Structure 1
Amino acid sequence: METLDRPLTEGGTLVDDQEKPAGGEDEAAESACLRRDDAQPKPEDLVARAIAPVKAEYLRPSEERKGDGRIPAGDGQKSALAPSASVVVVEKKSKRQLKRERQQEQKSARNICPEIAKTGKVEACRFGVSCRFSHDLESFLDQKPEDLPGVCPFLNTAQPCPYGIACRLFGTHKQFVPLKSSDDPPKKHGVELNYLNKDFQRLLWKNRVKYPKADAQLKILGLSGGNFFKAKPEIDLEEHPVVLDGSNDCDDATKGATCHSAARDDEGCPDICSGNEIMEDDSVIDDPRPPKKAKSPIDDNMCSTEVNNGPEEKSSPMECKETQIKPCSGTRVELIPELNGREKKLIDFRGKLYLAPLTTVGNLPFRRVCKGLGADITCGEMAMCTNLLQGQASEWALLRRHQSEDTFGVQICGSYPDTIARTVEIIERECTVDFIDVNMGCPIDVVVNKGAGSSLLTKPMRMKNIVLAACGASDVPLTLKVRTGYFEGRNRIDSLIANIAQWGPCALTVHGRSRQQRYSKLADWDYIYQCASKAPSNLQVLGNGDIFSYLDWNKRNSDCPQLSSCMVARGALIKPWIFTEIKEKRHWDISSGERLGILRDFVNFGLEHWGSDNKGVETTRHFLLEWLSYTHRYVPVGLLEVVPQRINWRPPSYFGRDDLETMMASDSAADWIRISEMLLGKVPAGFTFAPKHKSNAYDRAENG
């Protein structure tokens, strides 16, 4: 194939971080830029305005386009495959209405008993008339939708299809294909790991699970519940040798440990958002204001500058070997217990293609698709620690792992050291994972308001206690994912790199945006390079943000040799074949048929994961539509004037090279539903869909 790799047109720069005037002048300028007439806009002009420079022969006529580059609502009726601006809106229902619908669904014939569906015999159910499912087999068969195209995903497995007659591919059950050789073991394609044990789930419900490792580590750090309201006992310096570092030593350990002058915010942590500056040696500039009262004893203890006592029991497996006093200022000395002596397995991220943990869309079927296209390392969706500790099955499902994921991690999010440490311990005990990632960069309001995610960037002492507690509670390697800072223009991760390396994680991923920026503007890779250059050799630093082609990947890794690797996030959502492009070092002008084949693989994996019955089919459809809400942003390589496409380019309204490619370019949810019907059959009556995530990546005021 003739190479399509060429640099940007001379003088054409990607002006993404410049603010643009708001109002009518801005819209008029963009309308003029998009107008198709004798004076066709130059590609560099379109690139400067973050508009994809599509070749003129594929652009729609100007009368079909608005100033925003999309055709008006209703014009999609002129062509059956034309993109439209229509949106399918989901009707909001009250909790009472949803409960009533669930009860009606349980009583309907569609909700057939699983045992009867599996065997085809009414007498197979051991609960009889007390069963909460329907036993009307004839009514179920009468109203069952027609079979889907394709074959049952459980066809060649060792066990028969678990859904029996309820399977939407039941017609293929009689077409069992025997294995080629009787000597070969049965092929178990689709083996999944990390299922939640029902007995263990009941223990979580009843709060009867023991956490010996986590509790012992919390005692070491002085964060155990019994010490919140008790005075700190004296330290036995003979049992715990003390190493003094620096010239500002206090007279003795206990005297220095009781002296502190750090101001605290409402969370009981050093106040970094109200004028106090955190120095590299953890000292805090004195503030004349009196310290505020902590909201809770947990917060107060986590940010306390008093001496952290060692474990009371010498036989504890988490007993520290050595304790160091680290002077932070002339009036404050802090005890830091050394981590346990067990060697942790290390994960080598260098040069590996890492698929980022992606909320909603980063499910197991999607990860399998990316794994087949070249991803080396995968990570599950973010799971909330409190939900995992409560035994919520839906949250534990996020930890599920497929056998093809040879290097797999899970991502957790929490607010306090005790919840994260206990979560890490039970994950190590109940699941098979290669690493655990702690999210300290999630910008979602519901997460930040609970003190988790990006909120931790304003609480360095709590960050420290969380990492120390989590590292001590498990032998599984721990990694962190952070943003540059909480507020735009106030980056702070570079000042914490040296400290983070001492806390124990094996890798740190830096997303090149602040929490305030969310996903607007381009990632600050210069700052990521700065963080990587400051990291010690025992801490791998990975960059994250705007990787959308193999050129982006090569540039980021070559510009900073200290960078271990790059994480691919939204780039994989829009075009999951980016991993193939990076490994083969080419721009893949993928056809619409090949893209449909990737979607078909996802559907097959989804039916295998969520089930091939009617409920599983609709669940697969839902997540397929969520994914399609991202894939329509891709502009085929053969249609572009400038290659490669940038992640912040807004595609204008254009025709594809065939009808399917035109439909895939549509930003209309109605067209996404039509694509799903090509793979999963007709949608149920009254079906509606609206994307869960409405990205502001194309926001005009932010993207220039």
Structure 2
Amino acid sequence: MDAAAPVAEGSEANPGASPPNHQPDSGGGGGRAARPTPEELVARSIAPVKPEFLCPPPVRSAADAGDGAAAAASGVVKEKKSRRQMKRERKEEQKSTLHICIEVARSGNVDSCNYGDKCRFSHDINAYLAQKPADFEGTCPFINAEESCPYGLTCRFLNSHKENIPSESQKISRKSHEINGLSKNLQKLLWKNKVDFPKADAQLKLLGLKGGKSKKEKSKVDNVENQQDAFDGSNNLCNDDKSEMLACKDDDASCVDVSDEARPLKKTKGEVAENGGNDIANGSCCMETILTDGTENSSLNTLNSCKVNPSPKVHAREKKLIDFRGKLYLAPLTTVGNLPFRRICKVLGADVTCGEMAMCTNLLQGQVSEWALLRRHSSEDLFGVQICGAYPDTVARTVELVESQCSVDFIDINMGCPIDIIVNKGAGSSLLMKPMRMKGIIQAASNTFEKPLTVKVRTGYFEGRNRIDSLVSDIYEWGASALTIHGRSRQQRYSKLADWDYIYQCARKAPSNLHVLGNGDVFSYTDWNKHASDCPELSSCMIARGALIKPWIFTEIKEQRHWDITSGERFNILKDFVRFGLEHWGSDTKGVETTRHFLLEWLSYTYRYIPVGLLDVVPQRLNWRPPSFYGRDDLETLMASDSAADWIRISEMLLGKVPEGFTFAPKHKSNAYDRAENG
């Protein structure tokens, strides 16, 4: 954002975030006990903040704690509404003038909606503008000299538009810098379970892994048997020919590499003439049909620009590998590891980025919210997606689906997530107790996917019973190109320090061609240097919570320094996040509030950062508990607050006042130190 909303109380322009004339605590005298030495504080995992910056913990009432904290303090529990009641409220809300038709809002013309009077949304422009929340100061993130804002009248930066109401002749020609979307046609087919996965199913058959068959698949058992006769019995399908198609998407101005190998047995001309259009007529198709038939995927316009480059299928060992050695890898992070946050980390020096963990079953069902986790920005030059599944068939089919629809450099399979709902479904960390299931998943996925496949694990399921060292070589033989080891067991979650000695042990046992990456408690360039020097066999380190608390850790590692970043520089990073968020989620009211929500989730981590200039011992460790302290200015003090009310105040400095009745509670409760990013 070029200009922020009206500054709230507590900003640099209007100090008030902390007591203006606080008395520094000297740490002794006045009958108080002598303050522990910095070494004693470090031994107790308490951050050794300089005495002159310490302050007593603030005593807040429910009224002072803000809307979100007040609701929790008062013990108010929201009324649980029935599904019928919520549906009725949604319908009533849609009739409100605030829910204007998107086509009318874009064009400013009530006649632009194809549904006319039958449209379920409002067409009353004047009524909408009368009730619309106040616009923000600053420039719309979508406006430039060549294009109009896609949100039209609903944009919260409407005043910055060259014309308040775009003319009908203005066409939205905005070229998105984001790719990896899900087409509506494919989504509908996934909803109806009408998509075939020939590559994945063929590999499952060859490996002797029987997956659950849908009704449509059961009706085609004979065809599957015929497909099997086409293969020579080898697990790697080395003798099959492959053709690669470059499918250019008009809707996001991006290109994806589409692999077309491991096809079913080619049909004769007579069979094609007899059965050629039956699958589409019946509402079903295979992945090849979706990608090459213009009628099934008109939104992608794949026939507009197609280039076929036949080449032989490569063996799993001949796949193009990614050299992770020395690269700064931003870990996949639940909730906070969204696309705008990854853009921030790229600006600050990250080399490798990975999307948030996506569940295979949800991707195969065409859930839009899950597919949003696969979105990729053009600045992410080395990008992967992380998936999580419990069975070889769901993972292999997901891999085939992602490869055909998305532009990715690698796929990471999460076998370390400690979250109960994931483990109870047989995925994540539960796979650590099922090595044969791990083998089936990795083999099926690797043989289906033409690019590098990586795996992320923990040391083991139970504390004190590590087992990954005995599986490292097997994981490589099964087809993985890289292995990331989080130095904690599933039982530990995020408590205690990561066991890097065990990570080193695994790295030394790994085959030379397998990249092993360590993960856990990397929070400074000295941590990075120590792991690199202690174990040269380690390819790199994955940075997770360290990047959440201070994303400039990538800059520190590259520049080999402890950056005593100012509050103004940190605030500029938040400004960039807001700008990226508005570009990603939209500049209308819904997009603004979505950006605010994820900003608040991120602030629930960043408050744990202690500026370098305030510490007696440098650098800060990830397991240190920060005491209550004053910053060197009011904004730094505000950023150090552990109160959700103060996080909301920071969001208001960037995105204006929160809506009436707004509440916020951190999803992962990072201040509890036991729930953070996924495994």
TM-score bracket for this pair, using the shorter chain length? 0.7 to 0.9
Query: Mean alpha-carbon deviation: is it higher for 106-115 or for 622-631?
Result: 106-115
Q: Is the 8 A contact 2:578 2:595 kept in 1?
A: yes
Aligned to 2:230: 314
Quick one: which of 491, 512, 519 aligns to 2:487? 512
Question: Cα distance 1:489–1:36, how it changes in 2: closer, same or farther (>3 A)?
Answer: farther
Counterparts of 1:410 and 1:33 in 2: how far apart (Å)?
A: 53
Aligned-residue offset at 1:346: 1.0
What amino acid maps onto 2:559 in structure 1?
Answer: E
**Deviation per CA, 1:524-571, whole angstroms, max 9, x where unpaired?**
000000000000012100000000001011111111000000000000
What amino acid maps onto 1:174 in structure 2?
Answer: K
Aligned-residue offset at 1:341: 2.7
Counterparts of 1:516 and 1:34 in 2: how far apart (Å)?
A: 45
Aligned-residue offset at 1:498: 1.0
Q: Which runs of 5+ in 1 are unaligned?
A: 1-31, 66-70, 177-185, 228-308, 323-338, 700-704
1:434 aligns with 2:418: no
For residues 597-676 of structure 1, the aligned pairs below 5 Å read: 597-676=572-651
1:492 aligns with 2:467: yes
Aligned to 2:47: 52
Aligned to 2:554: 579
Question: Cα distance 1:596–1:316, how it changes in 2: closer, same or farther (>3 A)?
Answer: farther
Question: Cα distance 1:125–1:91, how it changes in 2: closer, same or farther (>3 A)?
Answer: farther
Aligned-residue offset at 1:36: 9.5
1:523 aligns with 2:501: no
SS state of the match for residue 692, structure 1? coil
SS state of the match for residue 199, structure 2? helix
Aligned to 2:204: 218
Aligned to 2:34: 39
Question: Cα distance 1:451–1:225, how it changes in 2: closer, same or farther (>3 A)?
Answer: closer
- Residue-pair matches, total: 554
Question: Cα distance 1:696–1:169, how it changes in 2: closer, same or farther (>3 A)?
Answer: closer
Q: Is the 8 A contact 2:212 2:393 kept in 1?
A: no
Q: Is the 8 A contact 2:147 2:173 kept in 1?
A: no
Aligned-residue offset at 1:317: 10
**Deviation per CA, 1:620-651, whole angstroms, max 9, x where unpaired?**
00000000000000011111111000001111
Aligned-residue offset at 1:166: 0.6
The alignment's TM-score, normalised by the length of structure 2, stands at 0.77
Counterparts of 2:48 and 2:375 in 1: how far apart (Å)?
A: 41
Aligned-residue offset at 1:99: 3.5
Aligned-residue offset at 1:150: 2.1
Q: Is the 8 A contact 2:605 2:670 kept in 1?
A: no
Counterparts of 2:50 and 2:175 in 1: how far apart (Å)?
A: 44
Aligned-residue offset at 1:156: 2.4
For residues 540-619 of structure 1, the aligned pairs below 5 Å read: 540-619=515-594
Q: Is the 8 A contact 1:574 1:630 kept in 2?
A: yes
Quick one: which of 119, 128, 142 aligns to 1:154? 142
Question: Cα distance 1:75–1:130, how it changes in 2: closer, same or farther (>3 A)?
Answer: closer
SS state of the match for residue 538, structure 1? coil
Q: Is the 8 A contact 1:318 1:472 kept in 2?
A: no
Aligned to 2:120: 132
Counterparts of 1:374 and 1:412 in 2: how far apart (Å)?
A: 25
Q: Is the 8 A contact 2:604 2:671 kept in 1?
A: no
What amino acid maps onto 2:59 in structure 1?
Answer: P
**Deviation per CA, 1:475-533, whole angstroms, max 9, x where unpaired?**
02100000000000000000001111101110000000000000010000000000000
Quick one: which of 467, 470, 473 aligns to 2:448? 473
Identity of aligned residues (%): 70
Question: Cα distance 1:696–1:683, how it changes in 2: closer, same or farther (>3 A)?
Answer: closer
What amino acid maps onto 1:661 in structure 2?
Answer: E
Counterparts of 1:33 and 1:438 in 2: how far apart (Å)?
A: 53
SS state of the match for residue 533, structure 1? helix
The alignment's TM-score, normalised by the length of structure 1, stands at 0.74
Counterparts of 1:460 and 1:556 in 2: how far apart (Å)?
A: 28
Aligned to 2:10: none
Counterparts of 2:596 and 2:77 in 1: how far apart (Å)?
A: 18
Aligned-residue offset at 1:223: 1.2
Question: Cα distance 1:90–1:409, how it changes in 2: closer, same or farther (>3 A)?
Answer: farther
Aligned to 1:341: 315
SS state of the match for residue 461, structure 2? coil
What amino acid maps onto 2:47 in structure 1?
Answer: A
Aligned-residue offset at 1:77: 5.7
Counterparts of 1:588 and 1:56 in 2: how far apart (Å)?
A: 21
Q: Is the 8 A contact 1:154 1:161 kept in 2?
A: yes
Question: Cα distance 1:503–1:397, how it changes in 2: closer, same or farther (>3 A)?
Answer: same
Question: Cα distance 1:188–1:147, how it changes in 2: closer, same or farther (>3 A)?
Answer: same
Quick one: which of 93, 99, 111 aligns to 1:105? 93
What amino acid maps onto 2:81 in structure 1?
Answer: S
Aligned-residue offset at 1:87: 6.6
Aligned to 1:483: 458
Counterparts of 1:34 and 1:362 in 2: how far apart (Å)?
A: 46
Aligned-residue offset at 1:104: 3.0
Question: Cα distance 1:75–1:654, how it changes in 2: closer, same or farther (>3 A)?
Answer: farther
SS state of the match for residue 136, structure 2? coil
Aligned-residue offset at 1:103: 2.6
Counterparts of 2:457 and 2:125 in 1: how far apart (Å)?
A: 53
Aligned to 1:235: none
Question: Cα distance 1:310–1:88, how it changes in 2: closer, same or farther (>3 A)?
Answer: farther
SS state of the match for residue 582, structure 1? helix
Aligned to 1:532: 507
What amino acid maps onto 2:422 in structure 1?
Answer: V
Quick one: which of 111, 114, 121 aligns to 2:109? 121
Aligned-residue offset at 1:210: 1.2
Aligned to 2:195: 209
Q: Is the 8 A contact 2:97 2:124 kept in 1?
A: yes
Aligned-residue offset at 1:40: 2.1
Aligned to 1:293: none
Aligned to 1:4: none
For residues 371-520 of structure 1, the aligned pairs below 5 Å read: 371-520=346-495
Q: Is the 8 A contact 1:420 1:466 kept in 2?
A: yes
What amino acid maps onto 2:340 in structure 1?
Answer: P
Aligned-residue offset at 1:130: 1.3
Aligned-residue offset at 1:165: 1.1
Aligned-residue offset at 1:33: 11
What amino acid maps onto 1:74 in structure 2?
Answer: S
Aligned-residue offset at 1:126: 1.0
CA RMSD of aligned residues (A): 3.1
Counterparts of 2:110 and 2:62 in 1: how far apart (Å)?
A: 53
Question: Cα distance 1:76–1:562, how it changes in 2: closer, same or farther (>3 A)?
Answer: farther
Aligned to 2:257: none
What amino acid maps onto 1:522 in structure 2?
Answer: L
Q: Is the 8 A contact 2:211 2:393 kept in 1?
A: no
Question: Cα distance 1:142–1:605, how it changes in 2: closer, same or farther (>3 A)?
Answer: same
**Deviation per CA, 1:305-349, whole angstroms, max 9, x where unpaired?**
xxxx99832347975479xxxxxxxxxxxxxxxx97363221110
Aligned-residue offset at 1:687: 0.5
What amino acid maps onto 2:126 in structure 1?
Answer: E
Counterparts of 1:659 and 1:226 in 2: how far apart (Å)?
A: 59
Q: Is the 8 A contact 2:599 2:651 kept in 1?
A: yes
1:194 aligns with 2:180: yes
What amino acid maps onto 2:155 in structure 1?
Answer: C
Q: Is the 8 A contact 1:84 1:667 kept in 2?
A: no
Q: Is the 8 A contact 2:62 2:74 kept in 1?
A: no
SS state of the match for residue 598, structure 1? helix
Counterparts of 1:502 and 1:35 in 2: how far apart (Å)?
A: 67
